[in-house]
Amino acid sequence: MTDPAFWRGKKVFLTGHTGFKGAWASLLLRRLGADVYGYALAPTHQSSLFVTARIADDIRHRIADIRDLSTLRAAMAEAAPDIVIHMAAQALVRPSYEEPVETFATNVMGTVHVLEAARQLRSLQAMLIVTTDKCYENNGTGEAFRESDRLGGDDPYSNSKACAELVTHSYRRSFFNVPSAARVATARAGNVFGGGDWARDRLVPDAMQAFLEGQALRIRNPNSVRPWQHALDPVLGYLKLVERLASDERLAGGWNFGPDAASEVPVGTVVEQLIALWGDGARWTADDGPHPHEAAFLRLDCARARTWLNWTPRLRLSQGLALTVDWYKALQRGQDLRRVSLEQLERVLQDTVPNGAAQ
Ligand SMILES: NC(=O)c1ccc[n+]([C@@H]2O[C@H](COP(=O)([O-])OP(=O)(O)OC[C@H]3O[C@@H](n4cnc5c(N)ncnc54)[C@H](O)[C@@H]3O)[C@@H](O)[C@H]2O)c1
């Protein structure tokens, strides 16, 4: 469980707060009493969590680019945060093939800029750089990755995140290496889902979009196995890590945050559950391609987070999917999505999420 006493009154500089995970992180941080200073580009969808949950009403934030070092440095210096959480990224594989230069600029040099701006801060206690489970070299063996495994990544997105890991390692060793310096960690999580995500080419948002429009969901690789989890699970893990990192330098380094083994299932299994939960004639069809290469297996070994942080995921796959379908159904019914999102957050924190089986 996260410790509200740690977060109350803490100043948290959060990049990517207008994005899917960043918006859930903002809601959670505010719920824990932290002061959030967001820094990101403008939201790209009018029904994003950031817009519908009215996150901007509750935090201080700036719409700006992490590729602009001087603006970022000024924003961070003005906030004088205790904690930096860096989530801003070009976060998708397929657009990374279309725009590799922009992807590397944002994910690699953007991370350099965040680290560079942060190392000037006297107030800083801990810093978390969010990368991905795709940062590992994946030979398709199906073995679960450990934090010590080799970094790699074929497509520009995955590779840029491996580069962000290396950049963070260099900054940690070169500039955050004295006892008085802030501790720096990286977090590698898997495919997350939840209310308010509209990213193209992500399974759950694609499904919700198709079902809302009464269309069949088109699926590329029904047999690909992924570690699926609700966004709040890794976000809770990130906060737990930061809490401990602030006072324990042994925790600096890389951390996996994945679901339990029962949630490492093929795309097709997730789709069948979503269809059952949605009802209303929801259906899927095969999308024959051509498609860019994607790894067939991706699994994470999360023993480190379990052992050192006592972190385990709170939601089973069926519970996370049910919360997600409820969110998009609430959107369809025109309900107040700030209220719905806060209720979902509270249920996760109180462990009162229903089982999740389709009605
Ligand atoms: N969603 C997933 O399944 C998943 C899985 C593993 C890792 N991640 C990582 O988690 C983080 C958050 O992902 P998400 O799903 O919320 O992505 P998202 O696309 O919803 O949000 C990305 C955020 O980054 C910001 N951003 C992008 N380019 C920027 C720039 N040049 N300057 C400033 N801000 C910029 C956007 O404005 C947005 O706030 C990313 O680092 C992503 O790589 C996500």
Domains detected in the chain: 9-349 (3.40.50.720)
Tell me if 91 CB under 6 Å of ligand 1. Answer: yes
* Structure token pair of residue 285: 């069809």
- From the CA of 91, how far away is ligand 1's center (Å)? 5
319 pLDDT band, cuts 50/70/90, is: very high
- pLDDT reading at 175 higher than 60: yes
DSSP character at residue 105: I
User: Among 122, 234, 232, 238, which residue's Cα sits nearest to residue 180?
Assistant: 122
The answer to whether residue 225 scores a pLDDT higher than 60 is: yes
Q: How confident is the model at residue 294 (pLDDT cuts 50, 70, 90)?
A: low
Pick the atom of ligand 1 nearest to 191's CA. Answer: 3
In terms of Cα–Cα distance, which of 263, 179, 184 is closest to 227?
263
What is the average pLDDT across 133-137?
Answer: 93
- Please report the atom of ligand 1 found closest to the CA of residue 88: 24
| For residues 318-332, average pLDDT | 97
Under 8 Å CB-to-CB from 174, ≥6 apart: which residues? none
State the DSSP code for 90. -
CB burial of residue 257 (10 Å; 0-12, 13-18, 19+): buried
Do the bridges between strand 191-193 and strand 144-145 make them parallel or antiparallel, or are there none, so unpaired?
unpaired
- Once rounded to an integer, what is the mean pLDDT over residues 316-340? 97
Contacts of 353 (CB under 8 A, 6+ apart): 314, 315, 319, 322, 323, 347
- What is the pLDDT, as a whole number, of residue 357? 53
* Residue 189 in contact with ligand 1 by CB distance below 6 A: yes
Distance 19 CA to ligand 1 centre (A): 6
CA distances, 140 to each of 136, 285, 294 (Å):
11, 26, 10
Q: Lowest-confidence range among 112-116, 190-194, 233-237, 329-333?
A: 190-194
Residue 139 banded pLDDT, cuts 50, 70, 90: confident
**15, 87, 109, 299: which to mutate for ligand 1, most atoms within 8 A of CB?**
87
What is the 21 CA–ligand 1 centroid distance (Å)? 7
Task: Express each pLDDT in 86-123 by its tens digit.
Answer: 999 999 999 999 999 999 999 999 999 999 999 999 99
Is residue 286 scored above 80 in pLDDT?
A: yes
Q: What is the mean pLDDT of residues 278-298?
A: 78
What's the CA angle centered on 118, arms 113 and 123, to 5 degrees?
165
DSSP, res 19: S
Q: Residue 140: pLDDT band by 50, 70, 90 thresholds?
A: confident
- What is the pLDDT averaged over residues 217-238? 92
d(CA 56, CA 70): 23
Tokens of 26: 């903002």
The pLDDT of 14-28, averaged and rounded, is 98
Residue 350 has pLDDT above 80, yes or no: yes
In this prediction, residues 328-343 reach a mean pLDDT of 98
**What pTM value is reported for the model?**
0.96
DSSP conformational letter for 109: I
Which of 41, 224, 256 for a ligand 1 pocket mutation test, highest count of atoms within 8 Å of Cβ? 41
What does the pLDDT average to over 248-271? 93
Average pLDDT over residues 144-148: 94
CA distance 298 to 190: 8
pLDDT value, residue 292: 64
% of residues, the chain, pLDDT over 90: 84
Q: How far apart are CA 56 and CA 123, in angstroms?
A: 24
Question: What does the mean pLDDT of the chain come to?
Answer: 94
Is ligand 1 within 6 A of the CB of residue 66? yes
- Whether 359 shows a pLDDT value over 50: the answer reads no
Q: What is the pLDDT of residue 295?
A: 61
- Nearest Cα residue to atom 43 of ligand 1: 91
Indicate the SS3 state at residue 15. Answer: strand
Model confidence at 293, pLDDT cuts 50, 70, 90, reads low
